[in-house]
């Protein structure tokens, strides 16, 4: 039945069909990410900015915001007694608030707000009432945060959200079971070895994975059993490239109008122009400007410094000569030119690279459930 909504023509149709599907039990994987959280719930993939904003003035009609990458949620009652009657925005709805919190700025928030993140996903997805969700999650330090995440997430939760089609406030109850909390990237390895994109790798053989995320480049050396042999973190992911381009635009002298004079350019709008493939900053004729030149110049500097650090690590550890595969995932591997650079170096670039970890976490949920 999941194919009914996963193949729907757009998000609103998907949400409505899922609500009417009669499904009561789904498995999921959740990658909290740095800049964006990614989840695979059943056959449905969802990605939202990892941003949170607490609603403090409850007399204001805060629930007017709705989109496929943001939501308003009110926790009504349930296992989390501390959240009773708490309202919050998540994703793009949170970014629209001046007092929002970005989760990547405080890694503890990824654990502390794990339930809020999942409820926002379920609100956008428009899950049926009385739903059971089995889920695996990832965290940068599961030894420190694993039990705390499970305590905060697991249980029965009743919450309100805005219906994506009728725009009325609806109440849902969900039972969440946490089947596992794994280190960052563990789901990606599971997906590569045991999922649809399986690599043919014996237990004695090695692969080198490069995860280009919003905040970092993470290099992981693993074997055919899924064991992590070594790891190396390189600071400055795709978000750093967006910052570099924004700063380059700040230094431009071609002021197109008084309205754009001395403007400080937004990295998020740079990212939007890249994602849309227009390489245009801003959405109107007053601020819109092409930044192909800045992209090319900044990309060269950003790529060369980090790929050199990658090369130094894999050669110093004597991993490069021994590796059967070089594999790449994460949102940054899809950047224009970066994908070509990686392919030229012999990397296997997986489909839907941003969702690889979430897909693998869903697979681990299936394994834990015996599905």
In this structure, what CATH number is given to the domain that contains residue 157? 3.30.420.40
29 and 74 inside one domain: yes
Give the list of residues 6+ apart from residue 48 with CB closer than 8 angstroms, or none.
36, 37, 69, 70, 71, 90, 91, 92, 120, 121, 124
40 and 101 inside one domain: yes
- Among 99, 135, 96, 142, which residue's Cα sits nearest to residue 117? 135
69 and 134 inside one domain: yes
Confidence of residue 2 (pLDDT cuts 50, 70, 90): very low
165 and 16 inside one domain: yes
Q: What angle do CA 175, 176, 182 make, to 5 degrees?
A: 175
Q: What angle do CA 53, 57, 59 make, to 5 degrees?
A: 130
Q: Does residue 126 or residue 59 have the better pLDDT?
A: 126
> At residue 51, does pLDDT exceed 80?
yes
14 and 143 inside one domain: yes
Q: Which of 93-102, 152-161, 355-364 has the lowest mean pLDDT?
A: 93-102
209-235 pLDDT, tens digit each: 999 988 899 999 999 999 999 999 999
What would the mean pLDDT of 316-338 be, rounded to a whole number? 94
175 and 209 inside one domain: no
> At residue 259, does pLDDT exceed 50?
no
Give the pLDDT score at 5. 45
Q: Is residue 191 in a domain?
A: no
14 and 123 inside one domain: yes
175 and 59 inside one domain: yes
What is the C-alpha radius of gyration for the chain, rounded to an integer number of angstroms? Answer: 21
What would the mean pLDDT of 87-92 be, rounded to a whole number? 94
Give the CA count within 13 Å in the CB-facing half-sphere of 8: 19
- C-alpha span between 369 and 227 (Å, rounded): 22
Q: Is residue 177 in a domain?
A: yes
109 and 131 inside one domain: yes
Q: Specify the number of domains making up the chain.
A: 2
> At residue 285, does pLDDT exceed 70?
no
- C-alpha span between 199 and 206 (Å, rounded): 11
Q: Which of 49-63, 149-163, 211-225, 352-366 has the lowest mean pLDDT?
A: 49-63
CB 220 within 8 A of CB 234: no
121 and 26 inside one domain: yes
What would the mean pLDDT of 149-163 be, rounded to a whole number? 96
What would the mean pLDDT of 69-92 be, rounded to a whole number? 95
211 and 124 inside one domain: no
Q: Is residue 3 in a domain?
A: no
Domain range for 248 is 201-349
> At residue 347, does pLDDT exceed 90?
yes
pTM to 2 decimal places: 0.88
117 and 225 inside one domain: no
> At residue 8, does pLDDT exceed 60?
no
Give the pLDDT score at 173. 97
CB 14 within 8 A of CB 6: yes
Give the pLDDT score at 255. 57
Q: Report the DSSP beta bridge partners of residue 41.
A: 28, 44
Q: Is residue 194 in a domain?
A: no
Confidence of residue 163 (pLDDT cuts 50, 70, 90): confident
């Amino acid at each position: 039945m999941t194919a009914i909504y996963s193949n729907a023509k757009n998000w609103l149709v998907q949400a409505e069909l899922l609500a009417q599907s009669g499904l009561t039990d789904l498995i999921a994987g959740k990658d909290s990410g740095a800049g964006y959280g990614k989840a695979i719930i059943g056959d449905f993939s969802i990605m939202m900015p990892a941003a949170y904003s607490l609603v403090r003035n409850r007399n204001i009609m805060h629930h007017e915001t709705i989109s496929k990458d943001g939501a308003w949620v009110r926790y009504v009652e349930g296992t989390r007694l501390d959240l009773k009657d708490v309202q919050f925005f998540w994703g793009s709805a949170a970014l629209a608030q001046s007092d929002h919190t970005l989760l990547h700025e405080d890694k503890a928030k990824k654990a502390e707000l794990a339930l809020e993140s999942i409820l926002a996903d379920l609100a956008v997805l428009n899950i049926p009432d009385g739903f059971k969700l089995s889920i695996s999650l990832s965290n940068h330090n599961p030894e420190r945060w694993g039990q705390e995440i499970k305590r905060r997430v697991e249980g029965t939760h009743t919450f309100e959200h805005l219906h994506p089609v009728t725009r009325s406030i609806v109440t849902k109850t969900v039972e969440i079971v946490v089947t596992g909390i794994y280190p960052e990237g563990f789901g990606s390895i599971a997906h590569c070895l045991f999922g649809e994109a399986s690599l043919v790798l014996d237990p004695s053989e090695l692969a080198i994975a490069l995860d280009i995320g919003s905040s970092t480049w993470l290099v992981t050396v693993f074997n055919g059993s899924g064991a992590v042999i070594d790891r190396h973190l390189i600071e400055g992911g795709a978000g750093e490239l967006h910052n570099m381009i924004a700063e380059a635009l700040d230094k431009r002298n071609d002021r197109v109008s008084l309205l754009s004079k001395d403007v400080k350019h937004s990295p998020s709008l740079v990212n939007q122009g890249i994602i849309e493939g227009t390489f245009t900053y801003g959405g109107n004729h007053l601020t819109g400007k092409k930044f192909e030149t800045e992209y090319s110049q900044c990309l060269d500097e950003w790529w060369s410094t980090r790929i050199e650090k990658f090369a130094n690590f894999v050669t110093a550890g004597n991993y490069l000569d021994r590796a059967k595969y070089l594999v790449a995932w994460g949102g940054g591997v899809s950047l224009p030119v970066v994908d070509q650079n990686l392919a030229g170096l012999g990397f296997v670039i997986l489909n839907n690279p941003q969702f690889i970890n979430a897909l693998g976490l869903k697979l681990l949920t299936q394994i834990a459930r015996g599905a």
